[in-house]
Homo-oligomer: A and B are copies of this chain.
């Protein structure tokens, strides 16, 4: 299986701007990418990074540069690689991904297998049907299900919170902080974040800062 990890090389993770400065966002994006690469390698597969611009190779992984939008760049890979065998696309910000969760995705049956993300997104996908193409607009889960049906591909999903959690907004940082299996939690600690537990909610915040980076409260 050819495993691709798309990566925004230039200005990654802009939606984390309320919580992190540009340098921190770059370091976080890079650390999450490396965590994802390690998790993929632990399933005995070697990922290729599909970057929007030149980057230093993360952990010695192959890097392909394609500055087109995500959908076009991924579909170019599908066109090239599907004739040879299955292709998996795993987003670079899945800081909770473990080898077990990725193994369940890679091993699931189906011509198109999606690990859904919040907001009806597609956080990871395995494609085994030669004519299936991705479309990463809003609500891509629904699009991908419809596209699979249209080309006669058997559609399946994998039920994983680890693959379903992308680190996109400040409120997501606590997920990486608590549940991340790689080095992302340590990086967040280096940035000065700590668990902040007030009545009825949990988030992370910088030591000494009063500013709460999470606006999502927990009900339990």
Contact = CB atoms under 8 A, between A and B. Distances in A.
A185 interface: no
A101 interface: yes
Interface string A3-34: 00000000000010000000000000000000
Contact of A162 (B98, B120, B159, B169): B159
A124 to B, nearest CB: 11
Interface string A140-168: 11100000000000000001111110101
Contact of A175 (B118, B168, B219): B118
Contact of A137 (B15, B162, B200): B200
A178 B120 contact: yes
Nearest to A104: B159
Give this chain's copy count: 2
Interface in A117-152: 117-123, 136-142
A202 B123 CA distance: 15
B174 A119 contact: yes
Interface string A100-120: 110000000000000011111
Given A139-B197, A142-B178, A197-B138, A116 B161 contact: yes
Interface string A166-181: 1011010011001100
Contact of A218 (B117, B160, B161, B195): B117
A41 interface: no
Interface of A: 15, 70, 91, 98, 100-101, 116-123, 136-142, 159-164, 166, 168-169, 171, 174-175, 178-179, 195, 197-203, 214, 216-220
13 contacts: A116-B179, A119-B171, A119-B203, A120-B175, A120-B218, A121-B220, A138-B199, A142-B202, A159-B160, A160-B160, A161-B161, A161-B164, A166-B219
